[in-house]
Structure 1
Amino acid sequence: MTSRPQTTVLLHGEQTGDLVSVTEIVVPPRSPGPPLHVHGFDEAFYVLDGELLFRVDDVVASRGAGEVCFAPRHVPHALANRSDVPARYVLVCTPAGFERHWARLAAAAAGVEPPEWALAPPPEVTVVGPPIGGPDGDLTTRR
């Protein structure tokens, strides 16, 4: 399996007046995930399969199938898949915009051009720390 997430945008901003986007994401096994970061939109993560480790602000928690994690805008957060199997989740972003990032990744992986709606720049993301699944990440978890 690839080391990058596999993504499918299910609902994009042009379909919702830029209010919300929905993306299905498969995180490969042993993926350290993105670095700790902040941005100006809210994210809700609904885990469909597997288990993901989340850090939101100073709280680190594991979430499995059927569980949700919420990361409010401007709050540092990250996720990782520390297990030996892929994890799959649905990401809901409000307002919309970051789905353009996921659509561009999917297009690049497929060797095609991204859809026209994904050509505008995605919202800015600011890295504020290391990935939680990497060697410098936080290892303390709470359920």
Structure 2
Amino acid sequence: MSESTSQYPPLPPDDLQRTLTIAKPDTDQTLQHIGLVGDTYTITVSGDETNGRFCVIDMHIPPDGGPGPHRHDFEETFILLEGEMQATFRGKKSIVRAGDTVNIPSNAPHQFHNISSKPVRLLCICSPAGQENFFQQVGVPVATRTTAPPKLDKEQQQQFIEKAHTLAPRYRTELLKEA
């Protein structure tokens, strides 16, 4: 029985419409694997499953991979599972290794880059959710969590850049120029 005071109102009842989510990114055929900027992102928990509170994306970043500089109005937390990468936050570079957690405050310019010779695996948590929808709109479906996206020729790269810049504001994201 929950106790209520004016300082601590009771918790709302359990929402029985919501269900447990268990994601198995290496074996679950229903998960979406998205190729984007040479990386592969697997949406393991979508905003639809969290009432928009957050999403979780399993990221496979090959050597020399990672997105360009950008910023957005939502929090982004990275938990590095395998490998090491360089994280740039407001222009300052840091090395992040397996086991480390990095939180990027909303609106701060940042990027991450795999400077090692091995793939990096990290979990990305965005709060609130929505970034997974941006990835679905600009990326391309690929077969598995580690399948590389198709290589783009110059014309395809230009089309991708234009599409990303057009859609980014809708998803509260600003793509920045390389420093």
Which TM-score band applies after superposition, normalised by the shorter structure? 0.7 to 0.9
The more displaced of 41-50 and 98-107 is: 98-107
> Separation in 2 of the partners of 1:56 and 1:11?
26
Task: List runs of 5+ in structure 2 lacking aligned partners.
Answer: 1-34, 144-167
Q: 2:61 aligns with which of 27, 39, 53?
A: 27
Percent identity (aligned):
26
Seen in structure 2, the aligned counterparts of structure 1 residues 128 and 103 have a Cα distance that, compared at 3 Å, is closer
1:11 aligns with 2:45: yes
> Separation in 1 of the partners of 2:140 and 2:63?
22
Instruction: For residue 35 of structure 1, report the CA deviation from its aligned partner.
Output: 1.7
Deviations 1:72-131 (A, max 9, x none): 110000000011110000000000000123345665334xxxxxxxxxx8613212231x
Q: Is the 8 A contact 1:9 1:102 kept in 2?
A: no
Output the aligned Cα RMSD. Answer: 2.1
Q: Which has the larger radius of gyration?
A: 2
Q: Where in structure 2 are the equivalents of 1:72-87 lying within 5 Å?
A: 72-87=105-120
Please name the residue that 1:113 is paired with.
none
More strand by share: 1
Q: Is the 8 A contact 1:48 1:65 kept in 2?
A: yes
Q: Is the 8 A contact 1:7 1:105 kept in 2?
A: no
1:55 aligns with 2:88: yes
Please name the residue that 2:5 is paired with.
none
Q: SS at the partner of 1:35?
A: coil
How high is the TM-score relative to the length of structure 1?
0.74
Q: Where in structure 2 are the equivalents of 1:94-105 lying within 5 Å?
A: 94-104=127-137
Give the residue type in structure 1 aligned to 2:42: T
How high is the TM-score relative to the length of structure 2?
0.60
> Separation in 2 of the partners of 1:104 and 1:83?
29
Give the residue type in structure 2 aligned to 1:108: P
1:69 aligns with 2:102: yes
* Equivalenced residues, count: 119
Higher relative contact order structure (alpha carbons within 8 Å, sequence separation ≥ 6): 1
Please name the residue that 2:164 is paired with.
none
Task: List runs of 5+ in structure 1 lacking aligned partners.
Answer: 111-120, 131-136, 138-143
